[in-house]
Chains A and B, each alone.
Chain A
Amino acid sequence: MVGASAAGLSTAEALRRKGFPGRITVLGDELHPPYDRPPLSKQVLSGTWEPERAALRTEEHLSGLDLDLRLGEHATGLDPASRTVRTRSGRDVRADAVVIATGVRPRRLPEQDGLAGVHVLRTLDDALALRKDLLSGGRLVVVGEGVLGSEIAATARTLGLDVTLAGPLAAPMALQVGPLISGLLKELHEERGVRLRLGSGVAGLEHAAGRVTGVRLATGEVLPAEVVVVAIGAIPTTDWLAGSGLELDNGVVCDARCRAAEGVWAVGDVARWQHEGLGRRVRLENRTNVTEQAIAVAGAILGDPAAYTPIPYFWTDQFDAKLQMYGVLPAAAEVQVVEGDPAARRFVAVYREAGRVTGVLGWNMPKQARLRRAEITLGEPA
């Protein structure tokens, strides 16, 4: 396993659960024992959890898995033919099967490196550094109105900070949930005091004496800030695979069984596989996919011929809104509230294209949303 986060660890665990008795080596580039990422922008950032609570597994459970877990070990290359993983320490690993689980890294603004007060949020250390800056107060600008940026804005506002959310789209998560629901998210954020500067791209950062002082929008407006979080998406961590011969195109390109080459597999945020249900290549950056795909890859390694065709699912918590999203929620879909009432901030909506349900969204109605998941049909109409 190249990667010791949820994807690598869950694959190892699934292999053991399925009775694989052989040796499993897990390489992780961070020094922390494996931890979970969804709490980083929520409970860890807000301080409601001690960082230790984000640990993926207890030490006892980890040792029960009988893994050769090598933390602080960077993979630097892969030879798919001999299935040899090269590492920075020189302790190369040769295996019968290699699982690529190196995840993604945050996209950054060109000028942010080395500038104090500017953060990204991907790792535990990122979350703790951001929390420290948030606790010293001041004005926060979040660059990026996607899921992560919207969550960070909500968490920071709940901590009492002066928060501005900036991004090119019209409303928070417009790309992920379409105009109707993102309009409701916009209302929620405004009501809770998040200043929205949406609909204009970010041109750059203002700084003085090595410290950020603001965010410059494409309109020329400058949003003053003591702290800035850049949450403008992520890039699959595949640079170490350059020259390996694997097809790299917005992730590690895989077949329907998540196989990138003979004996080489990819799992989690880094994997772009052929989803036979959707009829196209898909790369998902969400937590549920990680565990489901890990189980599928462990099965495939052990000879299970089934294609991996999940119904995508993710959730987000912002203020008191808990949103659950199933399937595909295109901006052009027809959205209908089928249960509850948006005015009461408790409802289920279904997304339809050409008359078929492609997705379901629950707003503070998780159980009711899940029960409608069965209505979803993936793929093109027959």
Chain B
Amino acid sequence: MKVAVEQDKCVAAGNCVSAAMDVFDQRDEDGIVVLLTDNPPDELAEEVRTAAAVCPALAIHIKD
């Protein structure tokens, strides 16, 4: 699974971090998404899919 984020679309809700904290974080200064790995292991795939689904800014993109 390949993951990409659009930082300029991100609204800093942090829903992705709540859904998949091993893959996403937020910058301390403005809350914008930080991708911890763009190639998460299979066991995190479901969490990452949930993170993409709950992003209110549609800023997370997944390629299987």
List chain A positions with a Cβ less than 8 A from chain B: 10, 13-14, 17, 36, 38, 56-57, 287-288, 291-292, 295, 313, 315, 317, 322, 324, 362, 364-368, 370
Contact = CB atoms under 8 A, between A and B. Distances in A.
Contacts of A57: 58
B54 A366 contact: no
Chain B binding site: helix, strand, loop or mixed by DSSP? loop
A193 to B, nearest CB: 24
Given A367-B28, A370-B17, A315 B53 contact: no
A10 B49 CA distance: 13
B54 A367 contact: no
A366 B53 contact: no
6 contacts: A315-B11, A315-B13, A317-B11, A322-B11, A366-B12, A367-B14
The 10 closest A-B pairs by CB, nearest first: A366-B31, A366-B12, A370-B14, A367-B26, A287-B56, A367-B31, A288-B56, A291-B54, A315-B11, A367-B28
Contacts, number: 60
B31 A322 contact: yes
Interface in B4-32: 11-15, 17-18, 26-28, 30-31
B54 A292 contact: yes
Given A292-B54, A295-B50, A367-B26, 9 more contacts: A17-B53, A57-B58, A291-B55, A291-B56, A313-B13, A317-B11, A364-B30, A367-B28, A370-B14
Contacts of A10: 53
Size category of the B interface is: 20 to 34
Contact of A36 (B12, B50, B58): B58
Contacts of B58: 36, 56-57
Given A315-B12, A322-B31, A324-B12, A370 B53 contact: no
Contact of B12 (A14, A38, A292, A322): A322
